């Protein structure tokens, strides 16, 4: 039983959440950078803009990018580069745990 001003001990759930936050790759740093730019596994971004080489995870996001950045050029879905089709992931390499 705790007193009024005494802090309670840390729960197992709270400790596990801290351990998980410290040890799980959230996508930042060097591992996350390689994953975002798609050097080895194609990254999470599937589509690449043929004009400026920026990547997007889906066609809708790429269309929003195209309308904002390239308004004078008509959007053609067949010209988008599918980065996942060109990169074959190796099964021996660990995949990052990005949430």
Of residues 78, 83, 74, the one with CA closest to residue 36:
83
Query: What is the end-to-end Cα distance of the chain in Å, rounded?
Result: 38
Name the helix (H) or strand (E) containing 56.
Answer: strand 55-56
Distance CA 86, CA 83 (A): 5
pLDDT given at position 32: 67
**Residue-wise pLDDT tens for the chain (99 aa)?**
556 676 777 888 999 998 888 877 676 777 667 666 655 555 567 888 999 998 888 899 999 999 999 999 999 999 998 877 765 556 565 555 544
Q: What is the pLDDT of residue 60?
A: 93
State the pLDDT at residue 50. Answer: 93
The H or E element containing residue 18 is helix 12-23
Integer Cα distance of 11 and 78 in angstroms: 53
């Amino acid at each position: 039983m705790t007193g009024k001003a005494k802090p309670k001990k840390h729960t197992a759930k709270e400790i596990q959440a801290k351990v998980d936050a410290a040890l799980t790759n959230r996508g930042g740093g060097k591992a996350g950078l390689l994953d975002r730019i798609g050097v080895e596994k194609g990254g999470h971004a599937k589509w690449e803009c043929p004009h400026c080489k920026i990547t997007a995870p889906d066609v809708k996001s790429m269309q929003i990018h195209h309308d904002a950045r390239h308004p004078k050029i008509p959007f053609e879905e067949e010209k988008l580069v599918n980065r996942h089709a060109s990169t074959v992931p190796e099964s021996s390499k660990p995949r990052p745990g990005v949430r």
